[in-house]
Amino acid sequence: KWIKVVDCESTIRGFNSR
């Protein structure tokens, strides 16, 4: 679930960091 478009980028960054 995405709250905001900008949040999407933040989530992707966290995934990559994983």
pLDDT tens-digit map of 3-17: 666 676 777 787 766
DSSP code at position 2: -
**pLDDT score at 1:** 55
Q: Are 1 and 11 in contact (CB under 8 A)?
A: no
**pLDDT score at 12:** 78
